[in-house]
Structure 1
Amino acid sequence: MQEANAGVGEMRPPPVPVKRKAPAPKDEPTPKRLQLGDDLPDEVSREDIQHMLDKADELHVETLNETALKRMHLQFERKVKVNRELRIKHADDPDKFLKSEVDLDEEIKKFTLVATNPELYPALIKLETLPLMVGMLNHVNTDIAVDVFEVLSELTDPDAIADVEEPEVFLKALFEAQLCQMTVDVLMRIDETASDEDFKAVTNGLSMIENLADSMPQDTCKQFLEIPNFLPWLIKRVRAQGAMDYNKVYASEILGIVLQNSEPARESMVKLEGVDKLLRGIAAYRKRDPADSEESEYVQNMFDCLCSLMLLKANQLAFGRLQGLELMIRMMKEHSLGDRLGLLVSDHFSQIGGQTESAPNLAWLVRGQKALNSKPPTPESEAPKLEEERVFASNLALKLADHALRHCPENCQVFVEKLGLKVLFAIFMKRGAKTKKESEAKELEEHVTSIVQSLCRYCTGTPVARVLNKFVESQFEKLERLLEMHEEYNRSVKAADEARDQGLAQKIDREPLGLS
């Protein structure tokens, strides 16, 4: 068997699309296409209908059980062998092994039925079907890999796995079959721009990785991180030039999952200069909003990745050296999606107390921002739209800023030095917030109060004086606003305490906070 594999690897005949059937021989008549109404009687009697129903009842439909699965495995094994032998024998004549490839492809697809029969998962392990299936990822024909990924994606679907008696045994059997190595090899080998099938292969592969991570996040991340090319491929894919596409968004989601669940992954990103590369990926959104929901999801995922990286000290220091914190503050001023998400990264940066040394590496990211701050007045006809966008931007920005400033004196100092107070207290006073929904207003106020608390607690010297001075200016209006918020929160706490004492289980909905 190994010799056969070696022979195929050396010859590497061009891939043959599996789903294209070989043309019928010219000496055979072309079958007539059935047209609606052909060979049908004008009238159908009750006897005819009953006769057809009786014939349908006589049809034998095979139930998928362990015996049937064993038969499927033997057929699969035989067709793998036949296809391999024909590919070696007729390496220069694809037409002679095309039929065997089609048969192999169809046999692979049959295993999707196992996903609806969770009691058969142990049989897949017992029959050693999984190593044979995973091995097909190395097939020269990309279409085979497409369907193998699709089958494995179905088998690892969280809904299907939930009904399996010992799901961890099944998933570990996949890992032992070298699934991770094979998957990365396919991702590295495929050129997604070559065909729709190549693109779909990557989609199905990423779907399978997501399913594995959903069921066993720690083990999945550990297994894939043992493959040196995995993280570099993900970084390259999320930074790919050109229009936004589904796989780019999907890759950013997978990268976020890996970085969130694996400290070794975050450590590996130091050598890969992950902070620098991801910052460059979000830099474009300092001037524009995403064009659609797909691009918005991509931007969110990229910021999530940076947030996970900020959990590691080395990445925090890199973020400071690359002026990442300054970029986040400037982005927040623009009230775009990038601005709203920007401060989430600052949150994680401040958790460890990252430094903010200046460096020229990403100075280009923050250039040109002053020009954006001097935009011409917005026509009245466009005001409602911009108002709504600003509300959405402010909510996300405050959330990110809240996390950025917690337990981090260095970041609190920088926030004040980089003129973050002006933006913060404008939102604190609910200026331009008339279109906010009640739920959004509640969430916004929670983040505002948390940020103010962090600044008052961790700033020292001139910065803390500037924070406190905000409550004095304009005839103490901000202090009055703070007292109003305290009164509202105090009333909410009392209502919750009373409900708890009375044994009420329903959720307590607070009254709208603040002045209208």
Structure 2
Amino acid sequence: MVIETLYDLIDQEEEEHEEIVKELYQKYMEQDVLSVAVGTLKRMDETKNEELEAAFKCIGLVESIIDGSDDQDIISKVANSGSFLLWLLERVRRRTINMVKVYAAEMLSILLQNEENQKIVGEKKGVDILLKQLAYFKKRNPKGQEEIELMENLFNSLCLVVQYVPNRKKFLEDEGLHLMNLMIREKKMSRNSALKVINHVVSGYEGRDNSIKYIEILGLKTLFPLFMKTPKRNKKTGHTENDHEEAIISIIGNLMRNLSGSLKRRLVDKFVELDHAKSERLLELHFKYAEKMEDAEEEVEQQAAMLAQEGVEMDEDMAYALRLEKGLFTLQQIDYIIVELYGSGIESLRERIISHLSMRKSSLKQIREVVKDYADNLGDGENEEAIEQERNRLLELAMGLM
């Protein structure tokens, strides 16, 4: 078969003749080999081993074209050539789990890094399709590495789809929050990825509707037990304790931003109940991540020294990015929540925060500086006015610690 020959040729030649292979990729695009591959995929009968393997190689050919091209718009071109994106969505929708479905889910997660593709998938009921596929893992763990890979790629695709803001409404209407919340309650392997999805849909001002809905479905009752006791590392999926903590803290931080009135008060009250147990936990996490940042400073200095030996100077942006990678973002979210609680007007919360800090020979000053630094480094975005308002709000909260 022609497709198999092309796949084998690429596999053999990539490392030995890089320039020739790049030229070959260009010819593939000119001759629209992608459409041929998609047409071939549509005719495959995966119940036959030979055709199953050929379908797998067709997808591999497409991935090779993406990897080997210098074209910045290659992901968009690949997605639209022969409706490859829609074929992937349809293949993921089918129940049969085999190596082709697993590969299709992986390719879908690659192509959905493009905003236009996110829009297309949303318009084709892709959010509903992904949710229905993930529902399979609600009460059962994946069987073997193949199913684990499938599940994680489906979750990654969902996270990417909801980055396109209009798809968050579809997620809400398709009861995505209910499914994610149930997955967390079931304590299966899907739990950490479900947390990651929730974090995506409640993030930013665009996450306000999902934030409100999350409170209404009693999501806090599911979330806070995990906040109080971090699940251990899952060796099969690779999710660590830090992954869980970072996702949960980020969700709480986003809820604090997006909620108001009685709904926000319900969130704040969680830190008061049971003799402020959750406030104590929050402050424990503050010290944990503050210590991590002390270690990170040594790594930043070491990295700067290594770059200096190569004649490269580490600028502030590089150093800041490294700190974020080492846990600074989570510390910022923790300290942001602390200043929100401190400014809530609940005197017992203020007293508990000050008392706990004093016991550890710390003070509000450290928290204030972290939040001010966070405000100063808020990134640029399309809505500059909203970002500036948030920056001013954060600075006002930080100054309230004086």
TM range (shorter): 0.5 to 0.7
1:201-242 alpha-carbon deviations (Å, 9 max, x no partner): 111111121222223374432333333432232122112223
1:460 aligns with 2:318: no
Aligned length: 307
1:380-430 alpha-carbon deviations (Å, 9 max, x no partner): xxxxxxxxxxxxxxxxxxxxxxxxxxxx33332222222222222212222
The alignment yields a C-alpha RMSD, in angstroms, of 3.2
1:123-153 alpha-carbon deviations (Å, 9 max, x no partner): xxxxxxxxxxxxxxxxxxxx45433332244
CA positional deviation for 1:328: 1.4
CA positional deviation for 1:290: 1.1
> Structure 1 residues 270 and 228, CA, compared in 2 at 3 Å: closer, same or farther?
farther
Counterpart CA distance in 2 for 1:415 and 1:284 is: 22
Counterpart CA distance in 2 for 1:443 and 1:449 is: 10
Counterpart CA distance in 1 for 2:173 and 2:12 is: 45
Letter of the structure 1 residue corresponding to residue 46 of structure 2: E
The aligned counterpart of 1:224 is 78
For residue 212 of structure 2, the aligned residue among 388, 413, 417 is 413
The aligned counterpart of 2:100 is 247
Q: Are the aligned partners of 1:181 and 1:224 in contact in 2 as well (CA < 8 Å)?
A: no
The aligned counterpart of 1:491 is 291
> Structure 1 residues 434 and 346, CA, compared in 2 at 3 Å: closer, same or farther?
closer
Superposition map of 1:429-508 within 5 A: 429-430=228-229, 433=231, 440-497=240-297, 500=300
Counterpart CA distance in 1 for 2:40 and 2:92 is: 17
SS at the partner of 1:229? helix
SS at the partner of 1:197? helix
SS at the partner of 1:227? helix
The aligned counterpart of 1:322 is 174
Counterpart CA distance in 2 for 1:446 and 1:236 is: 33
Letter of the structure 2 residue corresponding to residue 484 of structure 1: E
Gaps of 5+ in 1: 1-142, 355-407
The aligned counterpart of 2:45 is 191
The aligned counterpart of 2:57 is 204
> Structure 1 residues 232 and 487, CA, compared in 2 at 3 Å: closer, same or farther?
closer
> Structure 1 residues 302 and 170, CA, compared in 2 at 3 Å: closer, same or farther?
same
More helix by share: 2
Counterpart CA distance in 1 for 2:120 and 2:151 is: 22
CA positional deviation for 1:500: 4.9
The aligned counterpart of 2:26 is 172
CA positional deviation for 1:348: 3.1
CA positional deviation for 1:298: 0.6
Letter of the structure 2 residue corresponding to residue 425 of structure 1: F
Counterpart CA distance in 1 for 2:133 and 2:83 is: 20
> Structure 1 residues 247 and 500, CA, compared in 2 at 3 Å: closer, same or farther?
closer
CA positional deviation for 1:480: 1.8
The aligned counterpart of 1:279 is 131
Superposition map of 1:2-151 within 5 A: 143-151=1-9
The aligned counterpart of 1:45 is none
Letter of the structure 1 residue corresponding to residue 156 of structure 2: D
Counting aligned pairs with the same residue, the percent is: 31
1:313-372 alpha-carbon deviations (Å, 9 max, x no partner): 332222122111222122221111333322333333334656xxxxxxxxxxxxxxxxxx
> Structure 1 residues 267 and 452, CA, compared in 2 at 3 Å: closer, same or farther?
closer
The aligned counterpart of 2:66 is 213
Q: Are the aligned partners of 2:37 and 2:58 in contact in 1 as well (CA < 8 Å)?
A: yes
> Structure 1 residues 416 and 228, CA, compared in 2 at 3 Å: closer, same or farther?
same
CA positional deviation for 1:295: 0.7
Counterpart CA distance in 2 for 1:312 and 1:225 is: 17
TM-score when scaled to structure 1? 0.53
> Structure 1 residues 489 and 330, CA, compared in 2 at 3 Å: closer, same or farther?
same
> Structure 1 residues 241 and 202, CA, compared in 2 at 3 Å: closer, same or farther?
same
> Structure 1 residues 279 and 148, CA, compared in 2 at 3 Å: closer, same or farther?
same
Letter of the structure 1 residue corresponding to residue 89 of structure 2: I
The aligned counterpart of 2:191 is 339
Q: Are the aligned partners of 2:202 and 2:255 in contact in 1 as well (CA < 8 Å)?
A: no
Counterpart CA distance in 2 for 1:223 and 1:149 is: 19
Q: Are the aligned partners of 1:180 and 1:223 in contact in 2 as well (CA < 8 Å)?
A: no
The aligned counterpart of 1:110 is none
Letter of the structure 2 residue corresponding to residue 297 of structure 1: E
